[in-house]
Amino acid sequence: MQNKAIVVDHLWKIYTGREKNIVALRDISFSVSKGEVVGILGPNGAGKTTLCLILSGLLEPTKGTAYIMGEDIRELKRKACEKYIALYLAEHMRLWSAFIRLPALKYLEAIGAIRCIEGDLKKKAEEALKKVGLWEWRNEWPSRFSTGMKRKLMIAETLMYELPILVLDEPTVHLDPISCMEIWNILKELAHDGKTILLTTQNMEEAEYLCDKILFLNKGRIVASGSPHELKELTRYEKIAVKVSPKSREFAKLLEKIDGVTEIMQVKDVEEGTLVVAKSIKGCVEPSTIVELAKSTGLKVLLLSYEQLSLSDIFRILLKGEENESEDRA
């Protein structure tokens, strides 16, 4: 238990409604070591935000509990946010309106003062700004920032706390790939320095790049867990991208009939021809089969690429698998 920052033990959360109860979390158990980055993925409404709120001590679990740095969250409650956890909820955070007409640096100092952050505020604000890549904008008013820059400023606010655990709910939503990368590098550095990071995201690239471990939630249950690499290896499917010329949509239908091909994922007309992406069982379809098929219909294969399923594809398969399971049960 010593090096575990977060331990979740058979957690349940049931919201009682007027007509019926909503089970948000169903018997969740997992643990996070210190310095680990764990990503929580899942469709909207799967219980990710509920989990973040419970772990921050802001929502009472119905059954079961969680241990933050060894302390029971049911007793800690809100104090978890004072001692251990910095929470960042992307959808609910707003800039403090009175201060948005101050230079960004002063804005951070003011927020630090209001949030009772200890120490030299000016230095902390400077470091936070530099880390998120807003240093050249330190004398600008946040009211003039674009959406992405405002988000970075809010992340800087969260970084000024020096607490060991960061719980981030969709931290890089609205950010372009470069700003994302900047934030990811910051988070990686923080994890390297020993901070534990729990984040929720819909961005699969983020999950792959950042997370040591991913937990996949659906309808309140953990459906899959493992490192991104493991999740991608575990699946028995792979992706085949074929570009044929000239353009032909019928080729997709022929491709589907090949033994081993389970689904056509995408058909798109591009400049030189048609791009077809299909899902097939690993090792089942040989390149020569596809080239022969194309030749037989008078098409030329410009590109043929076997790829590992991306994390988004895995996401969709897991979700569909869940749907099929529940249909079977029903």
- Interface residues with another protein (CB under 8 A) are 41-45, 82, 91, 98-99, 101-102, 110, 113-118, 143-149, 170, 173-181, 202-205, 238, 266, 268, 270-272, 275, 283, 286-288, 290-291, 295, 300-307, 310, 312, 315-316, 319
| DSSP-based three-state secondary structure for 76 | helix
**Closest distance of CB 204 from another protein, Å:** 6
User: Cβ closer to another protein: 58 or 181?
Assistant: 181
DSSP string, 198-219: EEE-S-HHHHHHH-SEEEEEET
CB of 3 to another protein, least distance (A): 27
CB of 64 to another protein, least distance (A): 25
Nearest residue to 103 via CA among 84, 131, 129, 79: 129
User: What is the SS3 string spanning 249-261?
Assistant: CHHHHHHHHCCCE
Query: At 196, which helix (H) or strand (E)?
Result: strand 196-200
Looking at the Cβ atoms of 6 and 180, the one nearer to another protein is: 180
Distance in Å, CB of 115 to another protein, minimum:
7
CB nearer to another protein: give 6 or 206: 206
Q: Closer to another protein by CB, 35 or 148: give it.
A: 148
CB of 254 or CB of 319, closer to another protein: 319
The greatest distance separating any two alpha carbons of the chain, rounded to the nearest whole angstrom, comes to: 74
CB 249, min distance to another protein, A: 11
Q: What are the residues whose beta carbons fall under 8 Å from the beta carbon of 114, sequence distance 6 or more?
A: 96
Beta bridge partners of 14: 23
Q: Which is nearer to another protein, 36 or 238 (CB)?
A: 238
The CB-of-140 to another protein minimum distance in angstroms stands at 10
> Looking at beta carbons only, is 7 or 309 nearer to another protein?
309
Task: Bin 268: left if φ > 0, else alpha if -120 < ψ < 50, else beta.
Answer: beta
Q: Can you list the alpha helix ranges (DSSP code H) found in the chain? A: 48-55, 73-76, 79-83, 104-114, 121-132, 147-160, 177-192, 204-210, 228-234, 250-257, 287-296, 311-329
In whole angstroms, how close is the CB of 14 to another protein at the nearest point?
A: 18
